[in-house]
Amino acid sequence: MLFRYLIILLILLPLKAFALIEVDITRGNLSPLPVAVSPLSIDEKSKINFKKILKKNDLGSEISSVIENNLRQSGLFNPLNKNAFLQKPEIANLKPRFEDWNLIKAQALITGKVTFIDEKLRVEFRLWDVLAGKEMIALAFTTVPSNWRRVGHIIADKVYERLTGENGYFDTRIIYVSEEGPKTNRIKKLAIMDQDGFNNKFLTLGNELVLTPRFSPTNQMVTYLSYFRNLPRVYLLDIETGMQEVVGDFPGMTFAPRFSPDGKKIIMSFAKDGNSDIYTMDLENRVVERITNHPSIDTSPSYSPDGKYITFNSDRSKYQQIYVMKSNGKDVKRISFGNGLYGTPVWSPRGDLIAFTKLHKGKFYIGVMRADGTGERLLTENFYQEAPSWSPNGRVLIFYRETKTNSKGEGFSAKLWSIDLTGYNERMVDTVMDASDPSWSSLLSN
């Protein structure tokens, strides 16, 4: 449904080259940019139609809430209280009285209009530089009404891009494992949701253990580990059709799967007779290639975005460390050298950094290092946390945490958390139930 999405872009005025407002996302942001997100204006007839179809009283207000929440959650923007707004949405969208918005200290202003036309949803929006008194972006979208949340996400991405100079990450989904039940017998299901927690859907029933799901580059498929029939193997799942198929015909456990950046291969571990090595399988011709051949445990492989290198986890030097090798398995180099154990390496979509989990003196850390192992930076510490996954712009990491149980074995919970690369804006990602093993999609509109 989401993939029959129509966009018609109308650039109504030329973009201005100078940006008087700019947001720097390379440092910790202690003063988020004050931005006013005006409710999108909507005429009475459209309001009634959308209320009938979507059961939403005021779609203009709803879409602006999606935009506002995204901007606030990013930690870079401070959406101002609507009660202070002086101009009505309809008027502000045509020509804002900048003094009014200046008065409440807004530096950027978002206005827009929502219309029901030919059974479709049409949204126009504008981003204004309040201090300069100029329009920065003007765009319009047309799509099916049920896609209204995605319109909010795309607008937030456009605003983010214009003001930071970086790609956004709001029009994305998270795939994860939904968990419930006692620790000794957890029920786990694959689940998918919008990055802001809405539209949660379960993809499996919970009859067999499922772990570590990851998106394909087009976001249409998922690869994961399933214990179907008590045989742990890597599977593929088509998100739209729900069809599942086992990857290859391996005579033993396969696990830790990921897609190659071109989507053509699955890379994974295969365990046999006490040894785990890294293999790939071509999804088209089904050819299996062995990438590592070492008596140590080799697992958690992750490709560089250009597909030329693989980072992985190995205990070939006795304890878990992070290694990088060429994608044909040659030139294996260890890159982790700090104190402690290292695991779950994952290459940033920007190609510059590798995120990882570290265990040292009984504490777990999420950190990043450059692909040559230099510049190790620990972002957060906890009793237990692991498995970071990158947002598509390489600026945010999502991971999961578990809590300690008390002496009676009670109090256990698992939740998703996210943190910016700067180490700021650490926040819990709310899920319907307990959750683990999150993986971030690429931008849906690509």
Partner 1 sequence: MYQGETMKINKIFKNGFLILLASLVLTACTTQKKTTGQLQGDVYTGSDSVEYLASGVADRVFFATNETVLTTPARETLRKQAAWLRKNSKLTVVLEGHADERGTREYNLALGERRANSAKDYLMTYGISSDRISVLSYGKERPVDSGSNPLAWSKNRRSVTVKAN
Q: Which is nearer to partner 1, 238 or 315 (CB)?
A: 315
SS3 314: strand
276 lies in the site for partner 1, by CB under 8 A: yes
209 lies in the site for partner 1, by CB under 8 A: yes
Q: Which is nearer to partner 1, 119 or 273 (CB)?
A: 273
Bridge partner list, 399: 417
Interacting span for partner 1 (CB under 8 A) from 52-60, 95-103, 224-232, 347-355? 224-232
| Least distance from partner 1 to the Cβ atom of residue 134, Å | 50
* Binding residue for partner 1, selected from 219, 320, 441, 442, defined by CB under 8 A: 320
* Binding residue for partner 1, selected from 111, 115, 143, 212, defined by CB under 8 A: 212
Q: Please report, for residues 233, 235, 299, the alpha-carbon distance to residue 227 in angstroms, rounded to integers and kept in the order given.
A: 7, 10, 18
Q: Which is nearer to partner 1, 126 or 188 (CB)?
A: 188
SS3 93: helix
179 lies in the site for partner 1, by CB under 8 A: no
| Least distance from partner 1 to the Cβ atom of residue 413, Å | 12
Q: Please report, for residues 105, 107, 164, the alpha-carbon distance to residue 35 in angstroms, rounded to integers and kept in the order given.
A: 8, 6, 14
Residue 335 one-letter amino acid = I
- CA neighbours within 13 Å on the CB side: how many for 90? 4
425's tokens: 């804006």
SS3 194: strand
| Least distance from partner 1 to the Cβ atom of residue 278, Å | 11
Bridge partner list, 276: 271
Q: Which is nearer to partner 1, 170 or 399 (CB)?
A: 399
297 lies in the site for partner 1, by CB under 8 A: yes
186 lies in the site for partner 1, by CB under 8 A: yes
* Binding residue for partner 1, selected from 88, 405, 430, 432, defined by CB under 8 A: 405
Interacting span for partner 1 (CB under 8 A) from 64-72, 191-199, 252-260, 347-355? 252-260
* Binding residue for partner 1, selected from 269, 280, 391, 393, defined by CB under 8 A: 269
Distance of CA 95 to the CA centre of its chain: 35
Q: Which stretches does DSSP call E strand in 3-107?
A: 33-37, 41-42, 77-79
| Least distance from partner 1 to the Cβ atom of residue 329, Å | 18
SS3 290: strand
Write the DSSP string, 142-180: EE-GGGHHHHHHHHHHHHHHHHHSS----S-EEEEEEEE
Q: Which of 432, 443, 399 is nearest to 158 (CA)?
A: 443
184 lies in the site for partner 1, by CB under 8 A: yes
Helix (H) or strand (E) holding 91: helix 89-94
| Least distance from partner 1 to the Cβ atom of residue 225, Å | 8
274 lies in the site for partner 1, by CB under 8 A: yes
* Binding residue for partner 1, selected from 2, 20, 211, 433, defined by CB under 8 A: 211
35's tokens: 């931005």
* Binding residue for partner 1, selected from 41, 313, 348, 431, defined by CB under 8 A: 313
CA distance 62 to 171: 16
Residue numbers at the binding site for partner 1 (CB under 8 A): 182-186, 209, 211-212, 225, 230, 232, 253, 255-256, 269, 271, 273-276, 297, 299-300, 313, 315, 319-320, 341, 343-344, 357, 359, 362, 383-384, 386-387, 402, 404-405, 407, 409, 412, 437
